[in-house]
Amino acid sequence: MTTARLLDGTKIANDIKAEVAAEVADLAQHGIRPGLAAVLVGHVPASEIYVRSKVKTCAELGLFSELITPPETVTTEEMLALVASLNAREDIDGILIQLPLPPQVNAKLLLEAVDPAKDVDGFHPVNVGKVQSGQPALAPCTPAGMIQILRRSGLPIARLNAVVVGRSDVVGKPIAMLLLHENATVTICHSKTRDLAAHCRGADILVAAIGRPGFITPDMVKPGATILDVGINRVTDREEFDRFFLGDARREELFLLKGSTIVGDVHPAAYAVSGAYTPVPRGVGPLTIAMLMANTVRAAKLRRGLPV
């Protein structure tokens, strides 16, 4: 049996960020500096870390960024007024509203209020429709990053059977559509799918995005398949750790040090069955911020009628 190929998401993300930095430098010669507004409501530690990482990356690549931090008590009306002001600003090309929002804020209404031309998360119904119909659009960052992993790793997509496990609006549905545009034959599965394992075993490309730790087991993977593991699940229980990582001395050392580790939606033992796979961490995750930066530059170009 050949050794499964690890698809290094960190390296691919760094390549994309270098390309974005070059585009930003080129736009600067024409007096254009793409700008991203990041809206972070309240104090959710994980969200704060994530948003600050996005702002930091903007600075590294030469993009303008602005972090806006409304209080936890903000109302839907106040947030809508904020979005309207950002929609009107010429120096802002991308608007990012970090989820989750407090319960009193109507998140759906807010996301739909963002100008589709500045919707760098790719969540607005207009962009969803454009992605579906194959028009130039801002595609959701994680699915777009997964396509980049496949392309830049020289892995085929056309005419292959792709199975997507998970039907979320953020990952499952859009990655199915993007794979379809790449001429894969796509099956979408979910928690109510009959004989899910049989569907998975027929996949040349298997996307795991169901949000359940280690859900995809070795017997569900076709030998030689490409696995894209989107899951990020925190493991704090020793028994659960042993179920996934027993015998992994390096992982155990880190687990004992931090009291936790993360596992994807694919059981780590299943990677060995594959031909290529994205690890967790350092797989799909790093592409999300890289593609957010790429989307911000893309939005800046589309808004000005420049070729993308």
10-residue mean pLDDT series, the chain (308 residues):
90 98 97 97 87 95 97 97 98 95 95 97 95 92 98 98 96 97 97 96 98 96 98 94 94 93 96 97 95 98 93
Residue 121 known to be catalytic: yes
Residue 98 known to be catalytic: yes
Q: What is the pLDDT, as a whole number, of residue 1?
A: 57
Q: What is the pLDDT, as a whole number, of residue 271?
A: 96
Q: Identify the bridge partners of residue 25 per DSSP, sorted by sequence position.
A: none
Q: What is the pLDDT, as a whole number, of residue 221?
A: 98
Q: What is the pLDDT, as a whole number, of residue 2?
A: 72
Task: Look at residues 116, 151, 183 and tell me which one is the last residue of a structural domain.
Answer: 116
CATH number of the domain to which 97 belongs? 3.40.50.10860
Q: What is the pLDDT, as a whole number, of residue 104?
A: 96
Paired tokens of 289: 């911020």
172 and 88: one domain? no
For the chain, first and last CA: distance in Å? 42
Residue 173 known to be catalytic: no
Whether 192 maps to a domain, the answer reads: yes
Whether 125 maps to a domain, the answer reads: no
202 and 146: one domain? yes
The model's pTM is 0.95
Q: DSSP string of 89-115?
A: -TT--EEEEPSPPPTTS-HHHHHHHS-
Q: Beta-carbon neighbour count of residue 175 at 10 Å?
A: 30
Which of 121, 204, 229, 265 is the catalytic position? 121
Q: What is the pLDDT, as a whole number, of residue 232?
A: 93
Q: Which of 7, 60, 45, 71 is nearest to 227 (CA)?
A: 7
**Domain total of the chain:** 2
**What range does the domain containing 171 cover?**
141-287
CATH number of the domain to which 221 belongs? 3.40.50.720
Which of 17, 93, 98, 119 is the catalytic position? 98
